[in-house]
Each structure stands twice: as structure tokens, then as C-alpha cells.
């Protein structure tokens, strides 16, 4: 018998408005098996034992609230937690290992947050029995023979303290009041405030109120606060969000310090370079977002990430993604046969005590230029000058007659209406084209969001819609600021491909500001390197070929990379390692 799972999205399901066609047209109900799908107290209930998986209810639901999927055979009987009838189910759990960093990799919505909640003691696993939850003795017996048996025994006895750096740092100002110095002093249980403040560059923020901090500053505060607390297990949920490459490497050093002190670390990270650099083991998570999730057995870091990129998990004999993610190097001198789309002379701009100098340059059709550099160095200022939002103090941006489409760094849900109506409005005739639907709407997974209201979207969903709206406009050059923020690994590469297909396929031009180095490589035809002193002065190079640009940038960051022989993906070298020394000696920071 095929084991299947049925999930009803309670936020979307609206029995009072839909006419219950899902019940009327169910073949099992029409044959007298009324228990197959029914309404109880305004809640739609699907019996997974009686359901044949015909999918009629899925197609008939106008709100796309029903999902019915067949489960991979290997996970049968390995339920760890289910939130309720026809709700999300998690299969298996990651392992927590002493003095090791265990990484979790997978798309959003397949159980990373649930795994963290269970391993931290916030959620007691019910082994799939939401209506008859087991006690701790039964839970511990369920995991006998595995490393989790002893872990849950100690957790149930209160002998494990878990410290969590949460994913949603934007809610910190609502929960934490006071100045940065006061907040850090309150949580400093290990007496290392001076050390962590220096490492995360927080001292100049000590007298600032928490509510006044930017996203990057809040992230650094959250990382420092977690490090200051005394615990046995530390969980870092997406620690690189809002941080530039320099700050990500400092955050990596902070997390590595905990491991060196004998602590256990769980790391959820969508920046593959950072995940690869830090992790000792990796669990791959797969499944149907919002429906079910499966945690793989632990793999070495290299093997685990390569399995994720390939999209096939040998342990379970499951292909969880149709296409593998590959890396194509675009290096060497770039030749242009056409006239440039945008030309700008040497530019200078002073703004709020910050001064930016930009070398003269040009942007051609069918190319993506990626701007890299630390936060507060002028990348967004440069993009805004090209977009016409700011005028340079010196120099000229020659965009007369050029149509510009701009996606800002911070996306806000100000539109009152559905995603479908927004995209129809901004994209016009492009919206109906098969090219736009296939390369943007479908590739970014926006089909399932079309009937949702914009102000109901999550950060990642809003980011995808903003990118689609930007690419949908009829323009000559597209200016896209930090498109990978809030997105998981798969979505980042999907966005990179969507941008390239739109730009190259339609002979447009684009400038993208990005911090994820693997996403940079997936997009860039040429690279602009921004350097200087953040918040005071910035310098921007002219666009250069990717290899030279990345090499110059990584020399500033002071890290070296090598390439994985199987996938070709860039991997960060451990400082002082043989590969690191060889790269520095040859002057090739980027392979």
C-alpha cells in the first residue's frame, strides 16, 4: 500500500466561500465513503487511509489549500512530529554531536525550524500521534540505539541548556528594550563581552538604542548575545542574513570559537560557502514545503552539500529536485560587439557624511554586472544614481532615453492587492508572454502565490515577487539590490538563473548588488569591486572580468578559495591550511 500524506493549509482553506467542491467531487465520497473527506467544526479533514490520491480535491480547491503527496518508502514509520490532523509532518531528526558543528541544508518549509524547536526542548516530539502524544519514557525508547536516545534523556531531565540565535532578528526590537551595552551586559554569562564586542564590531554601537539598529547591526547583536550566554548546545539560525562578506567571516570565527571550547553547534545556513566553511557534518532536508519534511542521515560536509546540489539522496534512493545545480565559470576578457546601454563618467557623491568615488565605466546589453563589497561602502548609492534617484555631485550618468527598472535593497509590502494584480499592473503585456511565465513566474515558484495578498507574504515570498516585478517591467537596464536576502539556497540559484535568462535572452543589461559569493559566480559576467571605509568613504572600480574581480575582492576580504573537483563549486580554504598557503603564494585567491 502506498503511504500518502494529506495536508490542508488552514490559513487558505475557507469552507464558507468555496462551495466545498472538494467534497462533492471526491470519488470515494460519491461511492459512499463519506469519511474520506469531510467537514468538522469548519475544518476540512481528509482521512489518509481512505484517500486514494486521485488529486481531484487538489484541483477543485479554488484557494490551493490542499496538498496530497506520496511519501518516500524509506521514511515509513519514522515520524518524529506532526502538528495535527492534515498538518505538517517531520520525519527523522538531525544529530547533535559534542565539539562538532552540524549543518542543516534544504529549502524553506521542510522542517529545519521544527527540528530546532524539538532539539531545543521548545516542542516535545509526538512521534506523529498528535491526538495521543507519548511521554518522555516512550520518546526515549523510540530513539534507542541512536545518539538521540541519550540526548533526549538528558534534555528531559533538564541537563542540557540550549542557546538559540533566532532567524527572525527583525522582531528583536519589539522584545528587547534598552541600549546595546545594557542588553549585552544582561546576557553576559561567560564574561567575554570585550572579546565578542571587538570581534563583531559592536563597541561603537554601545550607546545606541536597540530599536535604532539596522538589520546588519541587529544580526551582529543577536550573534553576540548568543555567544555571551552559557550553554551546552548553540543553535545559529541563518546567521549570515543582512551581513556582508567581511561580517560573515567574523560571524564564522565566532561560531568556530564555540566549537573550539567544546560546545555543540547546530547551524542553519543558506550561504553555501559559509555552511561549507563551518560544518563538520551536514544533514540534507527534503520534502514538500509546508506538507512534510525528511531529515537525511549525516554526511561529511563536502558529500552532503554535493548531494544537495545534485538533487539525489542515495540513502533514501530519492530524487528530491528535477535538476542539479551546477557551476559555470565565466572568466577571461569579455568582448562586446554592441554599443553600451549605460555610460557614466567618473562619479562622486557625498551623502550624510559619506563620500563615494566611482571610476568611469559602461554597461553593455546581454550582461550582468555584480557589485561586491562591504555594507555601507556605497553600492546602493551607486545603484540609486544609475536609477536616477540620486544625482552625482560630480560626473554624468548618460541614461537619456534609457528605461530603468529598480528593485531596492529593502522591500516593503505597500501594494494593496494580490500578487497577480500587482504583476499584471507592473509587467503589462510581458505578463502574458510564455517566456516571462516560464523563466520568471514558474522558475521563482510564484504560481502558488498569485492569489495571495502582497501584505500577507513572508520576507522570502515578498523578495521573489519584488524580483519578478522588477524583471517584468519593460526596461533597458535592471538594477537589483541584494536579491538573495531571505531566500533559501534553491531559490537563490533560481533567482540567479531567472535574472540571467531575462538579461541574456532579451538582450538587456543588469547591475546586481550581492553578498553571497556563490550567487555572485552564478550571475556575473563582470564584477565591480567596492572598497574603502564603511560609512566614511568608498571607492568603486570599473567593471572587470569575473576572475580578476573576485581575486581582487577576496584579497581585500583576506580569504582564499579552491574548487570542488566534482561540482566545480568554490570552497573556502581554512586559514593557514596547505591549500590556503598555496593560493596566497600564487596570488590566486579565487580559482
Strands (E) located in 197-333? 233-237, 264-268, 281-288, 292-295, 299-300, 312-313, 318-319
The three-state (H, E, C) secondary structure of 407-440, written as one string: ECCCCCCCCCCEHHHHHHHHHHHHHHCHHHHHHH
User: What is the spatial distance between Cα 118 and Cα 295, in angstroms, rounded to a whole number?
Assistant: 13
User: What is the spatial distance between Cα 295 and Cα 282, in angstroms, rounded to a whole number?
Assistant: 10
Q: Is residue 267 part of a domain?
A: no
Residue 158, C-beta contacts closer than 8 angstroms, at least 6 positions apart: none
Judged against a pLDDT cut of 70, whether residue 333 lies above it is answered with no
Q: Which of 23, 43, 70 is the last residue of a domain?
A: 70
**Cell numbers standing for residue 22:** 472538494
User: What is the spatial distance between Cα 386 and Cα 356, in angstroms, rounded to a whole number?
Assistant: 14
Taking alpha carbons only, the member of 8, 105, 107 closest to residue 63 is 8
Mean per-residue pLDDT, 151-171: 93
Mean per-residue pLDDT, 314-326: 88
Taking alpha carbons only, the member of 341, 106, 437 closest to residue 115 is 106
Task: Provide the domain count of the chain.
Answer: 2
pLDDT of residue 334: 55
Taking the mean position of all CA atoms in its chain, how far away is CA 109? 11
Q: Is residue 185 part of a domain?
A: no
- Give the up-direction half-sphere exposure of residue 452: CA atoms within 13 A in the CB hemisphere: 18
Per-residue model confidence as pLDDT tens digits over 249-271: 999 999 999 999 999 999 999 99
Return the DSSP state at 167. S
Residue 470, C-beta contacts closer than 8 angstroms, at least 6 positions apart: 405, 406, 407, 478, 480
User: What is the spatial distance between Cα 67 and Cα 53, in angstroms, rounded to a whole number?
Assistant: 10
Is the Cβ–Cβ distance between 282 and 299 less than 8 Å?
yes
Taking alpha carbons only, the member of 68, 37, 63, 38 closest to residue 53 is 68
* pLDDT band at residue 243 using 50, 70 and 90 as cut-offs: very high
Taking alpha carbons only, the member of 188, 298, 299, 201 closest to residue 243 is 201
Q: Which of 554, 569, 586 is the last residue of a domain?
A: 554
Cα dihedral value 264, 267, 272, 273, nearest 10: -50
Q: Is residue 482 part of a domain?
A: yes
Q: Is residue 64 part of a domain?
A: yes
User: What is the spatial distance between Cα 493 and Cα 516, in angstroms, rounded to a whole number?
Assistant: 11
Q: Is residue 311 part of a domain?
A: no
Mean per-residue pLDDT, 21-45: 92
Query: Could you tell me the sign of the dihedral formed by the alpha carbons of 36, 37, 39, 45, in that order?
Result: positive
Helix (H, G, I), strand (E, B) or coil at 60: helix
CATH of the domain at 523: 3.40.50.300
**95-99, 196-200, 328-332, 370-374: segment of lowest average pLDDT:** 328-332
Q: What is the mean pLDDT of the chain?
A: 92
Judged against a pLDDT cut of 70, whether residue 329 lies above it is answered with no
Judged against a pLDDT cut of 80, whether residue 162 lies above it is answered with yes
CATH of the domain at 39: 3.30.70.20
**Cell numbers standing for residue 258:** 564555540
Is the Cβ–Cβ distance between 245 and 374 less than 8 Å?
yes
Helix (H) or strand (E) holding 461: helix 459-472
Q: Is residue 132 part of a domain?
A: no
Q: Which of 39, 70, 101 is the last residue of a domain?
A: 70
pLDDT of residue 3: 78
User: What is the spatial distance between Cα 397 and Cα 512, in angstroms, rounded to a whole number?
Assistant: 17
Mean per-residue pLDDT, 119-129: 96
Q: Is residue 273 part of a domain?
A: no
Q: Which domain holds residue 53?
A: 4-70
User: What is the spatial distance between Cα 289 and Cα 108, in angstroms, rounded to a whole number?
Assistant: 7
Q: Is residue 251 part of a domain?
A: no
pLDDT of residue 580: 94
Per-residue model confidence as pLDDT tens digits over 455-467: 888 888 999 999 9
- Whether the predicted model's global pTM rises above the 0.75 cut: yes
Length of the chain: 591
* pLDDT band at residue 200 using 50, 70 and 90 as cut-offs: very high
Amino acid at each position: 500500500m502506498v503511504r500518502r500524506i494529506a495536508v490542508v493549509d488552514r490559513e487558505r482553506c475557507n469552507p464558507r466561500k468555496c462551495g466545498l467542491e472538494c467534497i462533492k467531487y471526491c470519488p470515494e465520497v460519491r461511492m459512499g465513503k463519506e469519511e474520506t473527506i469531510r467537514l468538522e467544526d469548519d475544518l476540512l479533514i481528509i482521512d489518509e487511509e481512505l484517500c486514494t490520491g486521485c488529486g481531484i480535491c487538489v484541483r477543485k480547491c479554488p484557494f490551493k489549500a490542499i496538498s496530497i503527496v506520496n511519501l518516500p518508502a524509506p521514511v515509513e514509520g519514522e515520524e518524529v512530529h506532526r502538528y495535527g490532523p492534515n498538518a505538517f509532518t517531520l520525519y527523522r531528526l538531525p544529530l547533535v554531536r559534542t565539539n562538532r558543528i552540524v549543518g542543516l541544508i534544504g529549502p524553506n518549509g521542510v522542517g529545519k525550524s521544527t527540528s530546532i524547536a524539538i532539539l531545543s526542548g521548545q516542542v516535545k516530539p509526538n512521534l506523529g500521534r498528535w491526538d495521543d502524544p507519548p511521554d518522555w519514557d516512550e520518546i526515549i525508547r523510540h530513539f534507542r540505539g541512536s545518539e538521540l536516545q541519550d540526548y533526549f534523556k538528558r534534555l528531559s531531565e533538564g541537563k542540557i541548556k540550549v542557546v538559540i540565535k533566532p532567524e527572525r532578528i527583525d522582531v528583536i526590537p519589539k522584545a528587547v528594550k534598552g541600549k546595546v551595552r545594557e542588553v549585552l551586559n544582561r546576557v553576559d554569562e561567560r564574561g567575554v563581552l570585550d572579546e565578542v564586542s571587538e570581534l563583531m564590531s559592536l563597541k561603537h554601537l554601545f550607546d545606541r538604542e536597540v530599536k535604532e539598529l539596522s538589520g546588519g547591526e541587529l544580526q551582529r547583536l543577536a550573534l553576540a548575545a548568543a555567544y555571551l550566554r552559557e550553554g551546552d548546545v548553540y543553535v545559529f539560525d541563518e546567521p549570515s542574513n543582512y551581513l556582508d562578506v567581511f561580517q560573515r567571516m567574523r560571524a564564522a570565527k565566532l561560531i568556530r570559537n564555540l566549537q573550539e571550547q567544546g560546545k555543540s553547534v547546530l547551524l542553519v545556513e543558506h550561504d553555501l560557502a559559509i555552511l561549507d566553511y563551518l560544518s563538520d557534518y551536514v544533514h540534507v532536508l527534503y520534502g514538500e514545503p509546508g506538507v512534510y519534511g525528511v531529515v537525511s542521515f549525516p554526511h561529511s560536509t563536502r558529500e552532503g552539500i554535493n548531494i544537495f546540489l545534485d538533487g539525489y539522496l542515495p540513502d533514501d534512493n530519492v530524487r528530491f529536485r528535477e535538476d542539479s545545480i551546477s557551476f559555470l565559470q565565466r572568466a577571461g576578457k569579455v568582448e562586446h560587439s554592441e554599443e553600451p546601454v549605460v555610460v557614466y563618467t567618473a562619479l562622486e557623491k557625498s551623502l550624510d557624511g559619506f563620500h563615494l568615488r566611482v571610476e568611469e565605466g559602461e554597461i553593455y546589453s546581454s550582461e550582468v554586472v555584480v557589485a561586491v563589497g562591504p555594507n555601507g561602502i556605497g553600492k546602493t548609492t551607486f545603484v540609486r544614481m544609475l536609477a536616477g534617484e540620486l544625482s552625482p555631485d560630480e560626473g554624468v550618468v548618460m541614461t537619456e532615453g534609457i528605461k530603468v527598472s529598480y528593485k531596492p535593497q529593502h522591500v516593503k509590502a505597500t501594494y494593496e492587492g494580490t500578487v497577480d494584480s500587482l504583476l499584471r499592473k507592473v509587467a503589462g503585456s510581458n505578463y502574458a508572454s510564455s517566456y516571462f511565465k516560464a523563466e520568471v513566474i514558474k522558475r521563482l515558484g510564484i504560481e502558488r502565490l498569485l492569489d495571495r495578498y502582497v501584505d500577507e507574504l513572508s520576507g522570502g515570498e515578498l523578495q521573489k515577487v519584488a524580483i519578478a516585478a522588477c524583471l517584468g517591467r519593460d526596461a533597458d537596464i535592471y538594477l537589483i539590490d541584494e536579491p538573495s536576502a531571505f531566500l533559501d539556497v534553491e531559490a537563490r540559484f533560481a533567482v540567479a538563473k531567472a535574472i540571467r535568462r531575462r538579461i541574456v535572452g532579451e538582450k538587456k543589461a543588469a547591475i546586481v548588488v550581492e553578498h553571497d559569493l556563490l550567487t555572485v559566480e552564478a550571475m556575473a559576467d563582470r564584477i565591480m569591486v567596492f572598497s574603502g571605509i564603511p560609512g566614511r568613504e568608498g571607492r568603486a572600480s570599473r567593471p572587470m572580468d569575473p576572475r580578476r574581480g573576485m581575486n581582487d575582492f577576496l584579497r581585500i576580504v583576506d580569504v582564499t578559495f579552491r574548487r570542488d573537483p566534482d561540482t566545480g563549486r568554490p570552497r573556502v580554504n581554512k586559514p593557514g591550511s596547505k591549500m590556503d598557503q598555496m593560493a596566497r603564494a600564487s596570488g590566486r585567491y579565487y580559482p
